[in-house]
Structure 1
Amino acid sequence: MKFNSQGKDEVTYDAIVVGSGISGGYAAMELCRKGYKVLMLERGRMVKHGEYPTANLDSWDLEFQGKVPREEIAAHYYKQNRLNWWVNQDNKHWIVKDDERDYGEDQRFDWIRGEHVGGRSIMWGRHCYRWSDLDFEANMKDGIAVDWPVRYKDIAPWYTYVEKFVGVQGKKEGLAHVPDGEFLPPFDLNCVEDHFKKSVEAKWPVRRITPGRTANLTKYIPELHHGTRGQCQARNRCWRGCPYGGYFSSLSSTIPVANDTGNLTLMANSIVHSVIYDDKTQRATGVNVIDAETMETREYFAKIVFLNASTIGSTAILMNSKSARFADGLGNDSGELGHNIMDHHYGMGGSGTYTGHKDKYFSGRKPSGGFYIPRFRNIDKATERKDYIRGFGYQGGAARGMNLNAPLGAGFKEAITSPGDWTIRATCFGELLPYHENRFYFHETKKDKYGIPMLVFDAGLKENERKLRIDGVNCLEEMLLAAGCENVQVHNQPTAPGAAIHEMGTARMGRDPKTSVLNKWNQVHAVPNVFVTDGSFMTSAGTQNPSITYMAFTARAVDFLDKEMKRNGTI
């Protein structure tokens, strides 16, 4: 039974945004700033900026040295903690419990979620890299999947637009395949990272090493960085939530700006079950919502619906939105809903010790992760590989650890407080191709406590990824050796999709409604007043962290619909 305590007018808005994470927050802010009355719906609990329970705790304030007991992991986080590093005392309150929100697997899938206001924008890695036509033209040139309906020139102005607001620190490198952006001053490389850069670039000029480009405010500019924000304090506690607003999140940035317009209504504990579709107008009219606390169902109405519930969440809502017109899910004329799941595969990396520069140390706790090595394979004829297509990039850094060789005796205390050797570490992120058979679907009988079908995942790496991984690890090993590292160790432990927390695809955009779900403006082909601007729309995965691309496409989509509404009075 559907229940609304108010009349229909009181539950009708200009636009509904589903999800409050990186793309949902951006959609709501852009709509509100253009004068639309917006209802933002978040399935998880309410969190406000500053409500970060572990943000100011020191390591000794955390139970069990920051670790979560095995019994607790086994009871609540048996899938979320397969990565072995993700669930900790300082961030577990942001992480979904598997016993409360479980899912099925034909093949292993690491579905990492953050269900609360702000979503994963609270604990994201913050790396921001533009795509180029190397990425947007890749499917067409390789003859796989479908062609992107856009090119870099279409998105470049929107990268500039969002980078100014988000605040991305970095260094211009002049690379065509990872274009420069609107950068704040970078967190410079430390002395050993700089040594690594010079050693590698001297031997392989195509392998460029640059400071990691992240959404941390190395310089706070009030006229640009609106919201509740301030300069990054280099505490490196970002995934706990930042009370200073030193990095970009929905809670510190887009939601406060949307609130200031007076046009935002935010409702937490509101699970969107499905989109309401009108067969006569061939438009969506609103959404069906389940109250997570009372289990009551409600309807909310709007002229425009933005789905930003995450790559899996938004597509699940579309799949669950069935009608006489769309028996297999809203907008699923192509049959591609739920298919083409991508992620960046990792579990490949390595480290080495460097015995030089023992007279130097570093100041602060740089939150950027040190350095980034953009893709250098298959970018032109000179770098073309015969054994695989696409490529990989690296994120890493150098730091000094403890002196583990301190002798027992009178000088032991002094010895263990002196730093040990430098260690250079890096992780390789590879591109996963868009395979139609990589998918998720609804279980035939199992449902959650809200009556929504359980999701089942069936996705994995294939031969191209396996060959790419071998080269990625070998390249890292040779770079560490070229820098004079000792005790070089590399690993290649194939991870399941989802593990990089960059899941993409499942409602891809394209030129043809017969082979794609969305058009170039992120509209559902057959239902143009429904937009999807989270990772669902991605047509290929690239090697770069995707969040800044989601935000650029989101701002572009809102600008398009606003112009259409002003021109035609409808969308």
Structure 2
Amino acid sequence: MPGDSLNINNRAIAQNTYDAIVVGSGISGGWAAKELCEKGLKTLVLERGRNVEHIKDYTDTTKDPWELVHHGSNDNTDKENSPIQSKCYAYNEVSGKFFVNDKEHPYNQVKPFDWIRGYHVGGRSIMWGRQCYRWSDIDFEANAKDGFGVDWPIRYKDLEPWYTYVEPFVGISGSVENLPQLPDGKFLPPMEMNCIEKHVAERIKKSFADGRTMIIGRTANHTAKVGDRGPCQFRNKCHEGCPFSGYFSSNAATLPAAAKTGNLTLRPFSIVQEVIYDKQTGKAKGVRIIDAETMKTEEYFAKIVFLNASTLGTAHILLNSVSDAFPDGLGNSSGQVGHNLMDHHYGVGAYGDSDDFADQYFYGRRANGIYIPRFRNISDSTKMKEYVRGFGYQGGGSRGRINIDEGIGATYKESLTEPGKWTFGIGSWGEHLPYFENKVTLNKDKKDKWGLPTLDIDCEFKDNEMAMRKDMMNSAAEMLEKAGLKNVGTYDNMPAPGFCIHEMGTARMGKDPKTSVLNGFNQMHEVKNVFITDGACMASSACQNPSVTYMALTARAADYAVAALKKGNI
């Protein structure tokens, strides 16, 4: 069984000792590896899944749909083995190999929760949506102002230089807008809106006095070369892996940068069971892993440990890292580990069509859409009495073919070439408040095939989110109607938490060790040489896609950790 000393493969400790260990190779883990390696630390990156080699392992992404067995669609086997993963928009016949098999990786839904995962080198950075938006002080100050959650120990000014540091390497295309609720960044040239998007953007700007605006999405698709990466080829097949390195991923960017230093050791098939705590020094001395293939247990040692196993993966490791000093999990004297789980609530919006622009046919395969930044609860004049916080929209316009339900032969085939109307849709992403009772815990009665406890996930959206959703839907319809679209309709699919794939919380930052797990540098209050910079660290969720904030936090924490190590403070 895991933890049984009889199964430990006792190699010489020196052979398994590094300056730093990074757990996880996704978006934040890749950044931790890059920064630590470039600062001269011999760094071990542990990935629980298989290796994925950039370009080589992006099989079938260059094929056209008719060259694939199922023409790109999921088959019954996908739905049977991965009923949760196969619901994801990014899951198809080609990309499905980057998602876990749900049967092999069970968890327990106390309340409905769709946990979308990729266990391989690069993690979800291969399949992510690539939208990159800075947070503002409106987001970092929210907890303190309305009393939900604990006050963030940082503000925008603390993270602003680190956004500026990571963005040029990430390669984010976007437009400069001078919006206080959505700070501008270091952008590559923006992608272009199509004709109906430009029309809707103009009408929204003229129709509303609250300053709402529609911009092109800010995406980590490269509109110009970034070093030897890209540019984006506008294939819109990003979630299958990009052989042109046209968007940011750990595999294309941070891990190669780390490897270039000669300081990186990457070990796939390494499931971290626990962080090993040394009571005498008050520090972590390393981690214990289970080799996913051999089932053997090994220990690795380092001066610094970065946990980047994902919000739920990191919570699992912390809760499973028990000792005399921390019987409830590593650094968990506050009782906050596993709690305050958040995810954006989305799947609600509106759509419509237009008789205009009949002479314009082309809309292309742009790997990006539009963005409508938050316009609620950002000033006294935009304050809502029904709910706190806010939401933004993503979407876009396109033109398809006429829907023909009947016909036969040449006449039918010719009719399929006739263009249909331009259509336009927007969907909303809303902030989820940090509730203590939204939590994950270990289920020691139900174990996985490696003998580790599975996670019980108990999370829901509450009254504030439900009140917000009504406004998200109605405001979407109002904007499309003001833009002159016809046949405007609304929808609210009400997907379960988790399905937005923006999990946050479970090891939150805060000023007080009694109510939080990490300090303002993502350092554990109680175990000074352990840092957590994935989604687990977040004290609130804002409404923007969070990945570029994870990157900035990681670079900042790595800088602090290495400086503290050199000073002998950790």
TM range (shorter): over 0.9
Comparing 484-493 and 426-435, the one that deviates more: 484-493
Query: Residue in 2 aligned with 1:396?
Result: 395
Query: Residue in 1 aligned with 2:3?
Result: none
SS in 2 for 1:394: strand
SS in 2 for 1:361: coil
Tell whether 2:100 aligns with 1:96.
yes
* 1:425 to partner: Cα distance: 1.3
* 1:482 to partner: Cα distance: 1.3
Matching of residues 61-76 of structure 1 within 5 Å = 61-74=67-80, 76=81
Once residues 232 and 73 of structure 2 are traced to their aligned partners in structure 1, the CA distance between those partners, rounded to angstroms, is 26
Query: Residue in 2 aligned with 1:330?
Result: 330
Once residues 335 and 406 of structure 1 are traced to their aligned partners in structure 2, the CA distance between those partners, rounded to angstroms, is 59
Tell whether 2:214 aligns with 1:209.
yes
SS in 2 for 1:63: coil
Matching of residues 4-19 of structure 1 within 5 Å = 4=9, 6-19=11-24
Give the letter aligned to residue 479 of structure 2.
Answer: M
Retained in 2: the 8 A contact 1:398–1:422?
Answer: yes
* 1:207 to partner: Cα distance: 1.4
Query: Residue in 2 aligned with 1:383?
Result: 382
Retained in 2: the 8 A contact 1:80–1:86?
Answer: no
SS in 1 for 2:234: coil
* 1:159 to partner: Cα distance: 0.3
Once residues 72 and 19 of structure 1 are traced to their aligned partners in structure 2, the CA distance between those partners, rounded to angstroms, is 25
Query: Residue in 1 aligned with 2:234?
Result: 234
* 1:82 to partner: Cα distance: 4.5
- Kindly provide the CA deviation profile for residues 480-524 of structure 1, in whole angstroms up to 9, marking residues without a partner as x: 111121221211122211010000000000000000000000011
Tell whether 2:51 aligns with 1:52.
no
Query: Residue in 2 aligned with 1:23?
Result: 28
Tell whether 2:507 aligns with 1:507.
yes
Once residues 535 and 194 of structure 1 are traced to their aligned partners in structure 2, the CA distance between those partners, rounded to angstroms, is 34
Query: Residue in 2 aligned with 1:245?
Result: 245
Retained in 1: the 8 A contact 2:363–2:399?
Answer: no
Give the letter aligned to residue 534 of structure 2.
Answer: D
- Kindly provide the CA deviation profile for residues 525-571 of structure 1, in whole angstroms up to 9, marking residues without a partner as x: 000100000000000000000000000000000111122222x2342
Tell whether 2:160 aligns with 1:156.
yes
Following TM superposition, where does structure 1 have runs of at least 4 consecutive aligned residues deviating by more than 6 angstroms?
none
SS in 1 for 2:466: helix
Length-normalised TM-score, structure 2: 0.96
Tell whether 2:195 aligns with 1:195.
no
Give the letter aligned to residue 76 of structure 2.
Answer: R
**Long gaps (5+) in structure 1:** 223-227
Comparing 413-422 and 206-215, the one that deviates more: 413-422
Retained in 1: the 8 A contact 2:18–2:303?
Answer: yes
Retained in 1: the 8 A contact 2:132–2:548?
Answer: yes
Give the letter aligned to residue 220 of structure 1.
Answer: K
Query: Residue in 1 aligned with 2:466?
Result: 466
Comparing 341-350 and 123-132, the one that deviates more: 341-350
Query: Residue in 1 aligned with 2:182?
Result: 178
SS in 2 for 1:423: strand
SS in 1 for 2:157: helix
Query: Residue in 1 aligned with 2:299?
Result: 299
* 1:405 to partner: Cα distance: 4.6
Give the letter aligned to residue 194 of structure 1.
Answer: K
SS in 1 for 2:398: strand
Once residues 437 and 569 of structure 1 are traced to their aligned partners in structure 2, the CA distance between those partners, rounded to angstroms, is 38
* 1:144 to partner: Cα distance: 1.6
Comparing 546-555 and 411-420, the one that deviates more: 411-420
Retained in 1: the 8 A contact 2:90–2:127?
Answer: no
Query: Residue in 2 aligned with 1:554?
Result: 554
Once residues 70 and 350 of structure 1 are traced to their aligned partners in structure 2, the CA distance between those partners, rounded to angstroms, is 31
Retained in 2: the 8 A contact 1:112–1:501?
Answer: yes
Identity of aligned residues (%): 54
Give the letter aligned to residue 68 of structure 1.
Answer: N
Length-normalised TM-score, structure 1: 0.96
Once residues 425 and 61 of structure 1 are traced to their aligned partners in structure 2, the CA distance between those partners, rounded to angstroms, is 30
Retained in 2: the 8 A contact 1:406–1:416?
Answer: no
Give the letter aligned to residue 8 of structure 2.
Answer: F
* 1:113 to partner: Cα distance: 0.4
Query: Residue in 2 aligned with 1:225?
Result: none
* 1:410 to partner: Cα distance: 5.8
Retained in 2: the 8 A contact 1:289–1:299?
Answer: yes
Matching of residues 127-146 of structure 1 within 5 Å = 127-146=131-150
Comparing 444-453 and 8-17, the one that deviates more: 444-453
Query: Residue in 2 aligned with 1:263?
Result: 263
- Kindly provide the CA deviation profile for residues 185-223 of structure 1, in whole angstroms up to 9, marking residues without a partner as x: 01111110000101111101421100000001101142x
Matching of residues 419-498 of structure 1 within 5 Å = 419-498=419-498
SS in 2 for 1:548: helix
Retained in 2: the 8 A contact 1:236–1:367?
Answer: yes
Once residues 203 and 364 of structure 2 are traced to their aligned partners in structure 1, the CA distance between those partners, rounded to angstroms, is 25
Change (3 A) 1:363 1:351: closer
Tell whether 2:356 aligns with 1:356.
yes
* 1:79 to partner: Cα distance: 2.5
* 1:65 to partner: Cα distance: 3.0
How many residues of Structure 1 are paired with residues of Structure 2 in the alignment?
562
SS in 1 for 2:388: coil
Once residues 312 and 354 of structure 2 are traced to their aligned partners in structure 1, the CA distance between those partners, rounded to angstroms, is 42
- Kindly provide the CA deviation profile for residues 17-59 of structure 1, in whole angstroms up to 9, marking residues without a partner as x: 0000000000000000000000000000011101101211111
Tell me how large the CA RMSD over aligned residues is: 1.4
Retained in 2: the 8 A contact 1:473–1:491?
Answer: yes
Query: Residue in 2 aligned with 1:530?
Result: 530
Retained in 1: the 8 A contact 2:30–2:254?
Answer: yes
Retained in 2: the 8 A contact 1:2–1:299?
Answer: no
